[in-house]
Structure 1
Amino acid sequence: MTRAADIGRLAGLILAGGQSSRMGRDKALLEWQGETLLSRARALLRSAGVDRVYVGGRTDQPDGLPDNQPHAGPARAILDAASLLHGRCDHMLVIPVDMPLLGPELLTPLLDANPGKARSWQDHPLPALIPVAACRALNSDDIHSIKRLLARLDAETLAVAPVRAGHADPFSNINTPDALAMLDRISR
């Protein structure tokens, strides 16, 4: 079984550079269960064995990375990060800041398969393991979505167990005040 140490140098990338326009305020700084979504995302990556964590699109944060084309979407942010991290890591374990229900059980399997390959969960482009060198080799002009990026990287997809009745979908994005309110209801 492959683990973080076996796939080469690994960095975590938290996608946090969006405008949060549907939420109406910065999602990275939203508090849930006593901590910000950004601090939860950092802790999650560390619990999966990632020592070096970067924050995409947030130069105001420690280890923040600038987006070369701000607000051009998460695929562009991943490609920008790959360019900036080339030479510092071999793979990026990428998560969005707005998936607070993700747990390490959805990250570590991404590290358990064929080294050098991109991989994600079936029907869920994030979280994903992204090989940095493969990103740099792409002609990125026509990549405007994470799904397209994963397709161009010939990513492996892992099967997802169905969400059990009465449980929240761990892949849920918290993009609106209503979604945040629902998150608060399910966490009680």
Structure 2
Amino acid sequence: MTTRKNSDLIGIVLMGGNSQRMGKDKSQISYHRIPQYQYLFQLLSKYCSEVYLSCNAKQQTKIESSFPLIKDVNDNKGPLEGIKSAFNIIDKSLLTVPCDMPVINDELILQLINSRNSDLDAVCYSDTDGHINPLFAIWEESCIEELKKFKGDSPKQFLKLVRTQVLKASSEALKNINTPDELNLYLKNQG
């Protein structure tokens, strides 16, 4: 597969949550023989001119120093805080991926990239049940000013306010793992 870096697209691995339901940092779980944050960093590096890990203050000390970080301005405010924190220092479009989705792959990323349109502010996915996943998405530079004015903390609510294209993907492709039971079941099914 031939890949091309997009000079106007910055990759952001969203990993700043508390992982309360999991009981341990979800970004450190290994689905692909390396911690998930490293896997997603490598994956996004194929398509984005730069990639950053969006993290909270506690996570900073657990991440190898070779990875560029963007620390959440306000910890424990949810994933939209990670996106806002990235846009505070980056004035390019963002390709965001959450660290709790082990099935993210080249095909899904390319579909997002190929669906970009200058008339849109964002492109994201919806699963077969109609549940929108606003965190595996491209947030165009055109939405920065609206995001700065947005007072809520729901990425889904924000994407309803701007011009967003919603792509379809299977529920399995958009699976996220949030609890030890979900993790054990996923790993068992992987063989």
TM-score range, shorter chain: 0.7 to 0.9
CA RMSD of aligned residues (A): 2.0
Matched residue, 2:87: 82
If the length of structure 1 is used for normalisation, what is the TM-score?
Answer: 0.83
Native 8 Å contact 1:12 1:53 kept in 2: yes
Matched residue, 1:187: 190
Q: Distance in 2 between matches of 1:102 and 1:70?
A: 25
For structure 2, which runs of at least 5 residues remain unmatched after alignment?
127-131
Q: Distance in 2 between matches of 1:176 and 1:45?
A: 25
**AA partner of residue 180 (structure 1):** L
Matched residue, 1:63: 68
Q: Distance in 2 between matches of 1:136 and 1:68?
A: 17
Shift of 1:33: 3.6
Matched, 1:120 2:118: no
Matched residue, 1:132: 141
Native 8 Å contact 2:93 2:141 kept in 1: yes
Structure 2 counterparts to residues 12-23 of structure 1, below 5 A: 12-23=11-22
For structure 1, which runs of at least 5 residues remain unmatched after alignment?
164-168
Q: Distance in 2 between matches of 1:4 and 1:127?
A: 18
Native 8 Å contact 2:96 2:136 kept in 1: yes
Percent of aligned positions that are identical: 26
**AA partner of residue 69 (structure 1):** N
Q: What do the CA deviations read for 1:30-89 (whole angstroms, capped 9, x no partner)? A: 122421111111122124x12311111254442110111111001121112111212xxx
Aligned residues: 174
**Displaced runs of 4 or more, over 3 A:** 58-61, 136-141
**AA partner of residue 69 (structure 2):** G
